[in-house]
A and B are shown apart, each in its own frame.
Chain A
């Protein structure tokens, strides 16, 4: 079990914030940290990896103490054996893809693992390419493969997929899930994407201003909370058009633009850019399977 009990004063954009967390994670779990930017998610991952020191507290991982402020224990990041995927990928620019992976190897002879990872992440084409020539999604795969090459027990990912387009993101989610299962990892992910969280993780910690707001399975945290039996989506108003006697409001819901008919009275309070709820009350929605 991983037990994190930390306190840290953080200097953020909105002044000083007190990060105060008490998290426990089971071995083999896929955990997501969710919350607004500046809530302390990245700092939490960095403190677990040893890249940032908590002011106070204790971190123990699988019965070993990594950090304990009361008796001055602070294990160096080099000794924690954590695979870390950085938000900016942090690939070594002067090394090729294969060399990036080789550099991470603990046992320099283990070329087999490098080959296996290159195969698994479908990187064979770019094996001898330098990172600057790769696309975002390819870089991300290299970063993930490189983190796995050091054979970590814990894999931490700082918003790894946020900069990618939807298709690439879905593909990478598959890679990530495969890696988590195949290498029997305990994984910690930072993500803003509820769909992604639902798909990947079995536990979510919701952070707000440095405090743990809520924890549970994704469905406990995101779905059960406001079941009302109604269709209800949050979105942003993009456009309001007049069409004869009614108005057509274009609303961006997640990645889809939806057109909704509205009456004059409804329009009066709504402007372009407003956050709105689109809900249906009376009739049953149609549901059908998407086929490709």
Chain B
């Protein structure tokens, strides 16, 4: 059995989740505190991947990254990066696609912390960054965990975006969800079933562990 698509899926999900975490924390913090007039627009953009068909997203990435267009050819000529039908392109598309799943839990986690905790750190002379890292984030661990896992699981499950921008190049862009589609098209149901059941079990296990940890079941069990 070919494990390559499954390995690629989890590589993509891992890289995407790490990038998203670094990106989403400052963004969620800004959204949680800002009174800027731009905020509703940014919030809308962050949430767009929730409602937009993934193919729409994939289609525009395809257009934007294509070497025949301004942005794509600039990337190609100046940086030597080709994002269409490449792993790098998949990562960027996945980051955008899973952005709300990381940003929303962190944003609401930060918003529910009492303001006075932050202010207490400020009057102690701690900068905003130090307060975020040492006080706010450690107090929203469940929200961080939820964001990490949802973003990871959502990336594992993406199909439309990957299909549009990645195609199905074995070892480069052929992730498990695409492999399942390919196998079904080739009427190779047993292989499709193998990928499907592995994805099913792993995503079930990941989500279950989140609910166990955030629900405090593990802590109770260890006591």
Contacts and interface: CB of A to CB of B under 8 A. Distances in A.
Whether A and B are associated in the same complex: the answer reads yes
Interface residues of A, number: 24
Interface stretch (B86-94, B114-122, B151-159): B114-122
Interface stretch (B26-34, B54-62, B124-132): B124-132
Contacts of B39: none
A84 B125 contact: no
B138 interface: yes
Contact of A92 (B119, B122, B127, B135): B135
B136 to A, nearest CB: 10
Interface stretch (A72-80, A168-176, A240-248): A72-80
Contact of A79 (B114, B119, B125): B125
Contact of A94 (B122, B124, B139): B139
Contacts of A78: 122-127
Task: Indicate the size class of the contact surface on chain B.
Answer: 10 to 19
Contacts, number: 55
Nearest to B122: A77
A83 B124 CA distance: 7
B116 A86 contact: yes
B139 A82 contact: no
Nearest to A104: B124
Nearest to A87: B116
A90 B122 contact: no
Interface string A83-117: 11011101011100000000110100000000000
A49 B139 contact: no
B139 A88 contact: no
B33 to A, nearest CB: 14
A90 B125 contact: no
A122 to B, nearest CB: 22
A244 B114 CA distance: 57
B138 A94 contact: yes
- Of B119, B121, B127, B139, most buried by chain A (CB within 10 Å of CB) is B119
A208 to B, nearest CB: 26
A51 B122 CA distance: 9
A88 B118 CA distance: 13
A77 B115 CA distance: 14
Nearest to B120: A90
A93 B122 contact: no
B126 A84 contact: no
Given A90-B114, A92-B117, A103-B134, A84 B139 contact: no
The 8 A-B pairs at the shortest CB distance, nearest first, are namely A90-B116, A90-B120, A86-B116, A94-B138, A77-B122, A84-B123, A78-B125, A104-B124
Interface of A: 49-51, 76-84, 86-88, 90, 92-94, 103-104, 106, 146, 150
8 contacts: A51-B122, A51-B123, A78-B124, A78-B127, A86-B116, A90-B119, A92-B135, A104-B124
Given A77-B122, A78-B126, 8 more contacts: A78-B125, A82-B123, A84-B120, A86-B119, A93-B139, A94-B138, A104-B124, A150-B125
